[in-house]
């Protein structure tokens, strides 16, 4: 059955970009006439055997990936104290392609995930990684980037625990039957190379394709895969307050034996045939969790408006309603993985399915079927040989390149340091001008205090100096008061009797003194306040003078915001320069490492030659010694050592038998080697 959206009438000019769908609509592609025969599947099987072996992960790749993972784990756990890094994804499930990404999950609850990802993105940029992208609109926000040296893509997500569990689910499936891995990686490889495996581009994710593939193996009449989910609540995890049932049967518990003995080639061609001829989404939902394709009704996932058919008619419609090509996420079964699809993505998918099916029926090579359609979005094969380009190049040329790189580095370093010092000056100026502004504010504050304080000072002065006040010190009045008081109150027996007139005078003086005392106290208070205010006024005036002096020097340079802008502009210029500097340094390091390696190699070779030379010299020496023995020539202790190290006397015997056949006249000497032996003819004595 055609896809439902192909069954309606529409203007084919709207689907020019999808030639197979168009041919189908025009009747130029008749699926009922295409039937796969044994030759097709056999051919595909042979091709897939080659392909699968090409996807074997080399020791070198594994080492590289582990190196990157180890490095990132260290950097991340250092930066986010108390965090943990786990790996998940296809390399963990075993369903990987050689150019698959590294999927890392940072478990960290110290800060909001998006903030953490932002920090990671900045860190990676500073570290010189390629294509650092922060994707915060996805269901699970991630940072994506490409390791600058190996070109291996990496995804980092935060607290993505469910992915760790569904990776385990995929691993379980891949362990059930040996055809699962080759089958799934073939589908994934095809989808990736044909540009229909990127959720951020409106097509299915690699994960969704894996589920579609597994579900195909589960829904065959002769199943290759059973359903491994228990769904009995016996094993659950809680993530962000939601409980997920992650229980899975072990292979033993399942006791599943398949009756399906198809080859991987047959399974892959069957997969394309079923998608081409029996588009599952017309009424179905891909549900690995149920072990079969559910009907939309069963799942209650009926397509929402606008439908794909609406979008064909109306090019304004870009986003589709819910459940366009539903694929249930096994643990998070409310999540439909087709939510990311857009209209073009769906047509791309359909077109590619039809294309693959037709090409298989024509015994086309797997390389052509999976030919890369959009090189710019298809990940490269990892670059494992860091010196690939240098191997076929003369070392002199590499040295020359190195020289040029050093020159370029010098230029960049100059530009960087120039901008850095300019920037630091700009920051200093901005700070100074900012201080100026603060001082100006302070000055105006102080100035505004001067006038009212002056009025107050004048007021106090006039109060203090008010008309009848001839300022008499308070202590003087106090003393006089006490003296008069004592005269007036001392008993008459102790003093000369006062006349009434005198007593009256004293009383009135006493009262006058009292009033003077009060007055003088007030005056003293005014005086003190006056002095205090005067001091304050003086202090403010001096402070203003200081401020003026400090401000004058830089006032003519302009506003601090100008310098802030300049510092920002310089920073923007510095970032790419620094990146270039980092790249140059890295490249210089690479070339130097290569040249060092070469020198080492040459030296080794040299010393190897030296070794062989030494060996050669040694051999000559041994031969000399042996011939001395044979000839009875004089013989040193060193000669004896050489002889013992090289097989002893018996070897002389052998070599003699070999080389000097028949010459037995020196035989006797061979057995009587002593340091004293020699021409001097002490041999016979010593025997
Ligand atoms: N994942 C998920 N939900 C998605 C996409 C991915 O839970 N919508 C999880 C899956 O566990 C998946 C992992 O994230 O295995 C990594 O996703 P991705 O790299 O897209 O898929 P892989 O299976 O790793 O495939 P590839 O080999 O293409 O990297
Ligand atoms: Mg992956």
Q: Which atom of ligand 1 is nearest to 101's Cα?
A: 29
Give the CA distances from residue 338 to residues 199, 327, 537, 619, in Å, rounded to whole numbers and listed in that order: 9, 6, 78, 77
pTM for this structure?
0.70
Ligand 1 pocket, residue 352 CB under 6 Å? no
Instruction: Give the whole-angstrom CA distance, residue 491 versus residue 126.
Output: 101
Instruction: Give the whole-angstrom CA distance, residue 654 versus residue 658.
Output: 6
Q: Which atom of ligand 1 is nearest to 97's Cα?
A: 27
**pLDDT beyond 60 at 387:** yes
Q: What are the percentages of helix, strand and coil residues in the chain, rounded to 5?
A: 65, 5, 30
Which pLDDT score, from 0 to 100, does residue 656 have?
43
Q: Which of 378, 380, 345, 369 is nearest to 190 (CA)?
A: 369
- Per residue in 404-459, pLDDT tens? 999 999 999 999 999 999 999 889 888 888 888 888 888 888 889 888 999 999 98
Ligand 1 pocket, residue 97 CB under 6 Å? yes
Higher pLDDT, 352 or 662: 352
Instruction: Give the whole-angstrom CA distance, residue 264 versus residue 244.
Output: 33
- Per residue in 210-268, pLDDT tens? 999 999 999 999 999 999 999 999 999 999 899 999 999 999 999 899 999 999 999 99
**pLDDT beyond 70 at 293:** yes
**pLDDT beyond 90 at 209:** yes
How close is the Cα of 91 to the center of ligand 2, in Å?
Answer: 7
Report, as an integer, the average pLDDT of 384-411.
94
Higher pLDDT, 279 or 469: 279
How close is the Cα of 148 to the center of ligand 2, in Å?
Answer: 18
Ligand 1 pocket, residue 101 CB under 6 Å? yes
Report, as an integer, the average pLDDT of 135-141.
86
Ion ligand 2: residues, Cβ under 5 Å: 89-90, 101, 103
Higher pLDDT, 140 or 558: 140
First to last CA, the chain: 108
pLDDT band at 75 (very low <50, low <70, confident <90, very high): very high
Ligand 1 pocket, residue 338 CB under 6 Å? no
Ligand 1 pocket, residue 289 CB under 6 Å? no
**pLDDT beyond 70 at 283:** yes
Which of the ligands is closest to the CA of residue 95? 1
């Amino acid at each position: 059955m055609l896809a439902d959206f192909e069954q309606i009438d529409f203007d084919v000019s709207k689907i020019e970009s999808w030639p197979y769908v168009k041919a189908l609509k025009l009747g130029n592609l008749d699926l009922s006439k295409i039937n796969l025969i044994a030759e097709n599947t056999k051919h595909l099987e042979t091709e897939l055997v080659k392909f699968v072996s090409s996807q074997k992960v080399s020791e070198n790749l594994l080492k590289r990936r582990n190196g990157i993972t180890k490095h990132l784990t260290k950097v991340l756990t250092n930066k986010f104290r108390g965090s943990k890094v786990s790996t998940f994804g296809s390399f963990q499930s075993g369903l990987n392609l050689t150019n698959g990404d590294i999927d890392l999950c940072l478990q960290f609850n110290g800060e909001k995930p998006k903030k953490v990802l932002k920090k990671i993105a900045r860190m990676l940029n500073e570290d010189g990684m390629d294509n650092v992208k922060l994707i915060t609109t996805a269901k699970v926000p991630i940072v994506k980037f490409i390791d600058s040296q190996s070109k291996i893509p990496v995804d980092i997500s935060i607290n993505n625990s469910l992915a760790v569990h569904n990776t385990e689910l995929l691993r379980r499936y891949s362990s059930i039957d040996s055809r699962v891995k080759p089958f799934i990686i073939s589908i994934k490889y095809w989808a990736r190379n044909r540009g229909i495996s990127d959720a951020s581009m409106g097509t299915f994710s690699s994960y969704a394709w894996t589920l579609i593939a597994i579900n195909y193996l589960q829904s065959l009449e002769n199943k290759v895969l059973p359903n491994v989910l228990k769904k009995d609540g016996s094993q659950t995890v809680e993530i962000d307050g939601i409980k997920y049932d992650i229980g899975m049967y072990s292979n033993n518990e399942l006791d599943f034996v398949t009756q399906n003995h198809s080859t991987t080639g047959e399974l892959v061609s069957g997969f394309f045939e079923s998608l081409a001829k029996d588009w599952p989404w017309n009424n179905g939902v891909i549900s690995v969790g149920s072990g079969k394709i559910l009907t939309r009704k069963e799942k209650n996932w009926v397509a929402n408006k606008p439908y794909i058919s609406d979008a064909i008619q109306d090019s304004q419609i870009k986003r589709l309603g819910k459940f366009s090509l539903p694929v249930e996420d096994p643990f998070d079964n409310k999540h439909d993985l087709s939510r990311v699809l857009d209209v073009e993505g769906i047509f791309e998918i359909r077109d590619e399915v039809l294309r693959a099916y037709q090409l298989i029926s024509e015994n086309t090579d797997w390389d052509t079927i999976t030919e890369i359609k959009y090189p710019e979005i298809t990940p490269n094969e990892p670059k494992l040989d860091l010196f690939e380009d240098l191997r076929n190049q003369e070392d002199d040329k590499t040295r020359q390149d190195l020289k040029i790189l050093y020159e370029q580095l010098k230029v960049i370093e100059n530009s960087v340091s120039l901008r850095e010092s300019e920037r630091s000056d700009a920051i200093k100026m901005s700070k100074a001008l900012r201080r100026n502004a603060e001082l100006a504010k302070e000055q105006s504050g102080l100035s505004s205090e001067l006038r009212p304080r002056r009025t107050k000072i004048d007021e106090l002065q006039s109060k203090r100096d008010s008309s009848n006040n001839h300022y008499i010190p308070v202590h003087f009045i106090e003393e006089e008061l006490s003296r008069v008081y004592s005269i007036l109150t001392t008993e008459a027996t102790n003093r000369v009797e006062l006349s009434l007139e005198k007593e009256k005078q004293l009383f009135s003086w006493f009262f006058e003194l009292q009033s003077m005392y009060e007055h003088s106290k007030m005056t003293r208070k005014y005086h003190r306040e006056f002095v205090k205010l005067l001091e304050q006024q003086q202090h403010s005036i001096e402070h203003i003078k200081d401020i003026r002096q400090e401000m004058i020097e830089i006032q003519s340079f302009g506003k601090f915001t100008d310098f802030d802008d300049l510092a920002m502009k310089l920073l923007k210029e510095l970032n790419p320069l620094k990146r270039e500097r980092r790249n140059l340094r890295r490249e210089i390091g690479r070339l130097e490492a290569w040249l060092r390696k070469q020198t080492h190699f040459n030296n080794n070779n040299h010393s190897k030659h030296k070794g062989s030379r030494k060996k050669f010299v040694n051999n000559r020496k041994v031969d000399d010694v042996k011939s001395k023995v044979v000839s009875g020539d004089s013989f040193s202790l060193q000669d004896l050592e050489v002889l013992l190290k090289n097989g002893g006397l018996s070897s002389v015997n052998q070599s003699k038998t070999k080389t000097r056949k028949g010459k037995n006249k020196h035989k006797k000497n061979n057995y009587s080697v002593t340091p004293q032996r020699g021409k001097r003819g002490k041999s016979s004595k010593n025997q």
